[in-house]
Amino acid sequence: MKPSFHARGFAAFALLAGLALIAVPEARSQEPIVIKFSHVVAADTPKGRGAERFKELAESRTKGRVKVEVYPNSTLYKDKEELEALQLGSVQMLAPSLAKFGPLGVKEFEVFDIPYMFPDEQFLGRVENGPIGRKLMSKLETKGITGLAFWDNGFKVFSANRPIAAPSDLKGLKLRIQSSKVLEAQMRALDAVPQVMAFGDVYQALQTGVVDGTENPWSNMYTQKMHEVQKYAVDTYHGYLGYAVIVNTKFWSGLPPDVRAALEGAMKDATAFEHEIARKDNQDAMAAIEKSGRTKVIHLGADQRAAWVKALAPVRAEVAGRVGKDMIDEIVQEQAAAGLH
């Protein structure tokens, strides 16, 4: 039986639509390429604002071919889960703290947790943008992850509900840390009890007394309202908190080359922006904490600070085997080359 007029008409239409899809790749996926960017901090932080800046630049420079969905404050995944989700391809982009790569099997990143190893952000940039930074990022490739950039937060302070001026003031306190063996060693060097915990759970743990205190850059302490549940903080600046912006390698290498080039440019400019705002964000957060009157901030004098440097100095040798003595030596040489010794 001969196909009816309608059937022939529909067949012709389907054929044309099919041809259009093949002929015009753009037509094939009107849908934008979606990048889910998940992170665990508040939007009003260096990382949160960096992620939003990347979104703006990525969407405008790809003229909408890419859509970036930013999920702050652990709304999508907590610390541990987000790395698994990236490897599975459930999210495409993250910026975890450099202290959180140990559980992934890339423990060398914990070099950034060594107390008083990095005098300032400028020196950090030298290390991150040099051979050491490149070597560390390349270690992620075996995990199906590609490193795009290093982002800053800042230097950490201790907080608790009793006055902290000297290292011995932390003796016996339960202190929350990120999942880093170097931070564990750091707390043990202070006779404190380290407790690994997801960032999203810290406020409540402080409020209920599951932990007595913790360490954070001011911006994380303030934006997570930890100053409401911590009576004292001290400006030890004993360790650095920074990030690696990472993507799922399969997703990234599967992008159309022109799209990837535009995204690389957007990441480069968002990184410059993020570095620019990080230090001021932390200064503003410290001022806001002091102004709130909820936390007494203790400002150390030079002698007091020297006592913290001395108390934490043994950590470097203790963790050399874990993070790699060669890398520590390389950083010390870099310090000498930068005239820091």
Please give the residue ranges that form the binding site for ligand LMR (CB under 6 A). Answer: 40-41, 97, 153, 178, 199, 216, 220, 241
Q: How far is the CB of 28 from ligand LMR (least distance, A)?
A: 38
Residue 17 neighbours by CB under 8 Å, 6+ apart: none
Find the shortest distance in angstroms from Cβ 251 to ligand LMR. Answer: 22
Could you give the dihedral angle defined by the CA atoms of residues 251, 85, 96 and 59, in that order, rounded to the nearest 10 degrees? 40
Alpha helices in the chain (DSSP H): 5-23, 25-28, 46-61, 79-88, 121-128, 131-138, 181-189, 202-208, 218-223, 249-253, 257-292, 302-312, 314-323, 325-337
Q: Identify the three-state secondary structure at position 73.
A: coil
Tell me whether residue 262 or residue 289 sits nearer to ligand LMR (CB atom). Answer: 289
Between 38 and 153, name the residue whose CB sits nearer to ligand LMR: 153
Residue closer to ligand LMR by CB (options 45, 92) is 45
Least distance to ligand LMR, CB of residue 187, Å = 14
Minimum Å gap between C-beta 45 and ligand LMR is 7
Specify whether the CB–CB gap between 167 and 173 falls below 8 A.
Answer: no
Which amino acid is residue 328, in one-letter code? Answer: I
Residue 211 in tokens:
């932990």
Q: Is 158 or 199 the residue whose CB approaches ligand LMR more closely?
A: 199
Residue nearest to ligand LMR (CB): 97
Alpha-carbon gap, residue 64 to 219, rounded angstroms: 32
> Minimum Å distance from CB 57 to ligand LMR?
21
- How far is residue 30 from each of residues 24, 26, 98, 195, 262, measured CA to CA in Å? 10, 6, 37, 48, 18
CB of 125 to ligand LMR, least distance (A): 18
Instruction: Compute the distance between CA of residue 129 and CA of residue 47 in angstroms, rounded to an integer.
Output: 18
Nearest distance from C-beta of residue 198 to ligand LMR, angstroms: 7
User: φ and ψ at 73, to 5 degrees?
Assistant: 55, 35
Which one, 40 or 160, has the nearer CB to ligand LMR? 40
Using the minimum distance from each CB to ligand LMR, give the nearer residue, 62 or 97.
97
**Nearest CB to ligand LMR, comparing residues 41 and 245:** 41
